[in-house]
């Protein structure tokens, strides 16, 4: 595979660049100590374990596209509905007509707010099911030049070779 920018033959698939920059880490440590104080000799022992993953900046650059999560939108919707009653009540305290019904305003707010959340969820669904698969296909066909760093797709002429 030849880079279109620098004409180098040193190109690697983005999936390989991404995987090469990921490292799993598992550590374990033990410690002990002693101290002499007013109460006499004190001994202490401790163990700790940890695990995780490190990622290089180049691996982050070559990462595949990810789906967007909906849980923050649903959480904001629930919080908004719970807080709507006290907020509308506070606005009614400063209203010109103090006999205005809180229930009608709360229902109207809940319907409009829920419709807005439904539109956002529909947009997230369409992004996750229409756009992300296209981007992932493009990512699967993409290469990175190790000489100049150019990211490019495999051309149709090179696919037959």
What is the distance of C-alpha 119 from the center of its chain? 21
Does the pTM of the predicted model rise above 0.85? no
pLDDT tens digits for 84-127? 777 766 666 666 665 556 666 777 878 888 899 999 999 999 99
Q: Which residue has the tokens 């983005």?
A: 14
**Which H or E element spans position 143?**
strand 142-145
Mean residue pLDDT of the chain comes to: 84
- Give CA–CA dist 147/150, Å, rounded: 8
Angle between helices 102-126 and 71-93 (to 10 degrees): 160
């Amino acid at each position: 595979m030849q880079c279109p920018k620098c004409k180098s033959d040193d190109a690697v698939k983005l999936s390989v660049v991404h995987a090469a920059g990921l490292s799993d880490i598992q550590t374990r440590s033990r410690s002990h100590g002693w101290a002499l104080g007013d109460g006499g000799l004190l001994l202490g022992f401790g163990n700790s374990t940890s695990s995780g993953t490190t990622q290089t900046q180049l691996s982050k650059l070559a990462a595949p596209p990810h789906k967007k999560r909906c849980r923050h939108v649903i959480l904001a919707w629930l919080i908004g509905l719970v807080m709507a009653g006290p907020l509308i009540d506070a606005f009614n305290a400063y209203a010109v007509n103090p006999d205005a019904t809180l229930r009608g305003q709360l229902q109207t707010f809940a319907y409009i707010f829920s419709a807005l959340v439904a539109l956002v969820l529909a947009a997230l669904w369409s992004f996750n099911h229409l756009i992300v698969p296209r981007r992932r296909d493009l990512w699967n066909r993409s290469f990175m030049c190790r000489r100049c760093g150019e990211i490019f797709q495999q051309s149709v002429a090179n696919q037959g070779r």
